[in-house]
Amino acid sequence: MDIKDYRVTGGAKVNLESFSTRADKSIEKDDIRNKLMPQNIEKMAELQEKLYAENQHALLIVLQAMDAAGKDGVIRHVMSGLNPQGTQVVSFKVPSSEENDHDYLWRINKALPRRGEIGIFNRSHYEDVLVTRVHDLVKTSQIPPELVTDSIWDTRYRQIRDFEKYLTENGTKVIKIFLHVSKEEQRQRLLDRINEPDKNWKFSSGDIQERRHWNQYMSAYEQMLENTGTKDAPWFVVPADNKWFARYLVSEIVLEALREIDPRIPELPESEKAKLEECRRILQEDA
Ligand code: ATP
Ligand code: MG
């Protein structure tokens, strides 16, 4: 499996119908469960420790998807082996009145991972070119009306590209994952949430409303992918109808990003090494 097959780096038209929502058939589910996934989790943990120790780079993982595509499961599984101390998950909901009093990147900025950390965004600034676009929420927002023109979405794509470039140029690597679920699979999962009492809490009637706008969402996603996938901050369209496959592919993507960062455990300067020798002597003599 090559993660490049799922990568979108911009410059070309994106048609989501040409991206599969199903697992790569050449990969065995049992192999992933029993061998490949546990191996990846171990490797991620090793690299995370180095990232934390080095304390220079950060990794930001943006997760976007339609409802019931499996964002929560991806976060739970992929992050299961990581040290919570160096990881933070932030979920972005309908903006609060305080958030609406600011530009749309304000809350995003506040939630960015620190150096040494892995930050996961469960939804993100991309909601502002997705749900906001599908429902034309800019019209009723506090943005000055003269700024709400036909080109507002192109303007936002440019702002987002610039913002992510800025982050990259300051040591935060950005990768973006779109969990690509089919409309039929979403229907099944929403039905399961109704039919299985243990899943009732996950069901929201709002999800049925959003589903009615499926085609508009797909079109907004396509334009988002086309306009904000870049070489430095690429999108990955992850087939999400098979949860085990989506989770594994995300682990491969995160692992590759950490390898590209290539964090190193810092080596002490000579003066500090001399101090260590001194401390060793004190401890040894203290027996
Ligand atoms: P779950 O899988 O638990 O349903 P979720 O991410 O869908 O997770 P919810 O609390 O159900 O969480 O939904 C959050 C809602 O907030 C989504 O419908 C999303 O579109 C909306 N939202 C997020 N950001 C914005 C924004 N900037 N403007 C308007 N709506 C937003
Ligand atoms: Mg929801």
| 127-163 per-position pLDDT tens digit | 999 999 999 999 999 999 999 999 999 999 999 999 9
| Predicted local distance difference test score (pLDDT) of residue 180 | 98
Residue 1 has pLDDT above 90, yes or no: no
Smallest CA separation from ligand 1 atom 10, residue: 93
Smallest CA separation from ligand 1 atom 3, residue: 202
| 78-123 per-position pLDDT tens digit | 888 899 999 999 999 999 999 999 999 999 999 999 999 999 999 9
| 189-201 per-position pLDDT tens digit | 999 999 999 999 9
Is the C-beta atom of 92 inside 6 A of ligand 1? Answer: yes
Is the C-beta atom of 204 inside 6 A of ligand 1? Answer: yes
| Predicted local distance difference test score (pLDDT) of residue 11 | 86
CA of 202, nearest ligand number: 1
CA–centroid distance, 67 to ligand 2, in Å, is 5
CA–centroid distance, 269 to ligand 1, in Å, is 48
| Predicted local distance difference test score (pLDDT) of residue 79 | 85
Is the C-beta atom of 132 inside 6 A of ligand 1? Answer: yes
| Predicted local distance difference test score (pLDDT) of residue 265 | 95
Is the C-beta atom of 127 inside 6 A of ligand 1? Answer: yes
60 neighbors 113 (Cβ within 8 angstroms): yes
Domain 3-285: which topology? Rossmann fold (3.40.50)
| Predicted local distance difference test score (pLDDT) of residue 279 | 95
* C-alpha separations of 257 from 180, 252, 261 in Å: 20, 9, 6
| 212-262 per-position pLDDT tens digit | 999 999 999 999 999 999 999 999 999 999 999 999 999 999 999 999 999
Is the C-beta atom of 193 inside 6 A of ligand 1? Answer: no
- Binning pLDDT at 50, 70 and 90, where does residue 3 land? very high
Is the C-beta atom of 67 inside 6 A of ligand 1? Answer: yes
- The average pLDDT across 261-268 equals 95
Smallest CA separation from ligand 1 atom 7, residue: 67
Torsions phi, psi for 235 (to 5 deg):
-95, 150
| 41-59 per-position pLDDT tens digit | 999 999 999 999 999 999 9
- Give the start-to-end residue ranges of the domains of the chain: 3-285
Strands 87-91 and 235-239: unpaired
Is the C-beta atom of 128 inside 6 A of ligand 1? Answer: yes
